[in-house]
Amino acid sequence: MKPGSESAMPRFMKAYVRYVDAMNRVIGFFVMYMVFAMMGVLLFASISRYVFNVPYLWVIEMAQFLMAAYYLLGGGYSMQLDAHVRMDVLYDRWTPKKRAFWDSITAFFLIFYLIFLVRGGMSSTAYALKYGQTNYSAWAPPMAPIKIIMTVGIVLMLLQAISILFKDIAKFLGRDIA
């Protein structure tokens, strides 16, 4: 416990934060290497088109799918590292306690937004699975796999947002969560 703190946060909060942070750290570590897969697909497209004059329909769309997976599956890890964009006009001048207060307020809005995204993602995924939805392109890949990946990524961000909320509440109250 930190000096001056009355008590630690509840055990379920500590366990939740520890588990979600560890899960997003592991997933984020592996997902960050997807950029190399995407680069490989784009390199293959360039070589096949300009060296061998054999263009493939699927390469650009596959790179887009990999980028969407990279972005959404790595979102929770990015949130954990606090590596997102923030307007620091006033934020840097605030005390850590004031930052934690405002971060917890914005975390509520983020959680609210992510809940709607999860609901939309689940609905869209169910539709893609039920009707065998394909993309409107010449390649026409099935959409269900990327929609499942996107929904999982949004769920990971939601879980991480709740973890961040717990950390901010603990910081604001001057309590230990670790």
pLDDT digits (tens, 9 = 90+) for 132-164: 999 998 899 999 999 999 999 999 999 999 999
Question: For residues 127 and 129, what is the distance between their CA atoms, to the nearest angstrom?
Answer: 5
Q: 4 in a domain, yes or no?
A: no
> Are 128 and 140 within 8 A, CB to CB?
no
Question: For residues 19 and 3, what is the distance between their CA atoms, to the nearest angstrom?
Answer: 25
Q: 6 in a domain, yes or no?
A: no
Q: 76 in a domain, yes or no?
A: yes
Question: For residues 166 and 178, what is the distance between their CA atoms, to the nearest angstrom?
Answer: 11
Residue span of the structural domain in which 140 resides = 11-83+90-173
pLDDT digits (tens, 9 = 90+) for 76-134: 999 999 887 777 788 888 898 998 999 999 999 999 999 999 999 999 999 999 999 99
Q: What is the total count of domains within the chain?
A: 1
